[in-house]
Amino acid sequence: MKIPEILLLEVEHAPGNLAKVLQVVGAAGLAVENLEAIKRSPSHTQWELTIEVDEESGCNLSEQINLLPTARVLGRSDRVFDRHRGGKIRTVSNIQLSSQQVLRDIYTPGVARVCLAIEKDPAKALEYTNINNTVAIVTNGTAILGLGDIGPVAGMPVMEGKAALFDSFADLSGVPILIDSKDPQEIIDAVAAIAPSFGAIQLEDISAPSCFEIEKALIEKLNIPVLHDDQHGTAVVALAALISATRMVGQDLKDSYVGQIGLGAAGIGISRLLLKYGVKGVIGTDLNQDAMQQLESLGGQRASLGELMEKANIVISTTGVKGLIKPDMVREGQVILALTNPDPEIEPEVALAAGAAFAVDGKSVNNVLGFPGLFRGAIDAGVVKFTDEMLIAASECLADLAPGGSLIPDPLDRSVHDEVARVVRNAAEKGKK
């Protein structure tokens, strides 16, 4: 696993001194991920140098830099951990407690009037509480990122990250809910019991096949939108990327056979949405025969890895297995999305050299573009469930917003999320008619 190594350097001012440091980095077989000047004096500049190293390999780069007469390593700055210190989210008040009158209005005795009004007409809770702007982010920690079953508490940084993205891109309050259970029914019961606190439920990083059972049961049981992001959020952004990629190479996506390697939550979600979108067919492969059967129940076809690479015009892989796709498996003109992070099933440059018409890895397909707008649009439309029309509308929107030469838009562009929310809301409202 690659991790960021962040070095704090001091380099003397003179032509070529910084270049000598970078030559040491290059000689170590490392690439510079980021270089930023953070402090300058008349004689020296302090630089923050970010590289990616293999966690297992260790790195003696500091010692090599310190051998240079004009540079030295001052220390390591673990920016990632620093940004997590104390957590990434907190609950804040919308009201300034500036006087006794404000206190009486928002708490006792004034709040009693609002409580009684909601008792009389429960719909008023949508107007006088934050329920309709609050999303539960629920996990049991069994499928955290590419790390696997590390438990719910270890998954909390991911849930806090999701909450931060909800706030930044959709003005929604995301509340992490950690459930220490692998029993699907216990999770279903727990989420159903707390559901009145929320306007929607996002299921996150729950392993297959339990995730399918849990999502299905909660959709049937609750009258608020429920979405398993690993399935449907990932599928939305993958479909958007495929629409863009096939446009770039002049292929018709709906006239294509798509091969899906890996039929976990993401793979099944992508396969299901592609079939709903109207591709000619989805061919899938997985070591788990139950997953293959599930694909067939959706209308897909099972195949071996070799058969899939032979038949598919487009290949998507979500296996977690580095280097699974060998160069000699690639056919001329294929479109390949190897989405496993941090190390894909095949490096894009290797796939292109082997004849692929287009190839990208998971760094280019970020599902943060999906879920904020999906939930904002669904909640604003007042619907109780997500539909395929809403998901496809989001995918087409993202593809249309992608700038020239890019698969998808910039995930940091707030206007993109607002537009996704708008088209999702429109699709939802159209579906209600």
Confidence of residue 59 (pLDDT cuts 50, 70, 90): low
Query: Is the CATH number 3.40.190.10 carried by domain 2-84?
Result: no
Q: For residue 45, what are the CA distances in angstroms to 4, 10, 22, 36?
A: 22, 6, 15, 10
Nearest C-alpha neighbor of 228 from the set 185, 196, 194, 191: 191
Confidence of residue 337 (pLDDT cuts 50, 70, 90): very high
The mean per-residue pLDDT over the stretch 20-28 comes to 92
Q: Is it the case that residue 294 has pLDDT exceeding 70?
A: yes
CA distance 198 to 130: 8
What is the phi/psi pair of residue 127, to 5°?
A: -95, -35
Q: Is it the case that residue 353 has pLDDT exceeding 90?
A: yes
CA distance 326 to 65: 37
pLDDT at 78: 72
pLDDT at 433: 67
pLDDT digits (tens, 9 = 90+) for 385-417: 999 999 999 999 999 999 988 899 999 999 999
Please name the helix (run of DSSP H) or strand (run of DSSP E) that holds residue 302, with its range, or none. Answer: strand 301-302
Strand order of the β-sheet with 257-261 is: 301-302, 281-285, 257-261, 314-317, 335-338, 358-361
Confidence of residue 367 (pLDDT cuts 50, 70, 90): confident
> Which CATH code for domain 131-224?
3.40.50.10380
- CATH 3.30.70.260 positions along the chain are 2-84
The mean per-residue pLDDT over the stretch 89-106 comes to 92
Confidence of residue 320 (pLDDT cuts 50, 70, 90): confident
- CATH 3.40.50.720 positions along the chain are 231-433
Confidence of residue 57 (pLDDT cuts 50, 70, 90): low
Residue type, 42: P
Q: Is it the case that residue 82 has pLDDT exceeding 90?
A: no
CA distance 187 to 32: 44
Beta carbons of 372 and 330 less than 8 angstroms apart = no
pLDDT at 364: 81
- Can you give the pTM of this predicted structure? 0.86
Q: Is it the case that residue 2 has pLDDT exceeding 70?
A: no
Of 24-33, 110-119, 230-239, the poorest mean pLDDT is in 24-33
- Two structure tokens written together for 322: 């580095």
- Residues designated as active site: 107, 162
> Which CATH code for domain 231-433?
3.40.50.720
Q: For residue 104, what are the CA distances in angstroms to 108, 110, 129, 188?
A: 5, 6, 17, 38
The mean per-residue pLDDT over the stretch 81-107 comes to 91
Sign of CA dihedral 311, 316, 320, 324: positive
The mean per-residue pLDDT over the stretch 272-294 comes to 96
The mean per-residue pLDDT over the stretch 223-241 comes to 96
pLDDT at 29: 87
Q: Is it the case that residue 217 has pLDDT exceeding 90?
A: yes
- CATH 3.40.50.10380 positions along the chain are 131-224
- Two structure tokens written together for 336: 């390949």
Go through 299-309 and write b for each residue having 16 or more CB atoms within 10 A of its CB, e for each that does not.
Answer: ebbbbebeebb
Q: For residue 70, what are the CA distances in angstroms to 15, 19, 43, 75, 339?
A: 11, 11, 11, 16, 42
Q: For residue 94, what are the CA distances in angstroms to 84, 97, 129, 130, 400?
A: 24, 10, 11, 10, 36
CA atoms within a 13 Å half-sphere pointing along the CA-CB vector of 335: 21
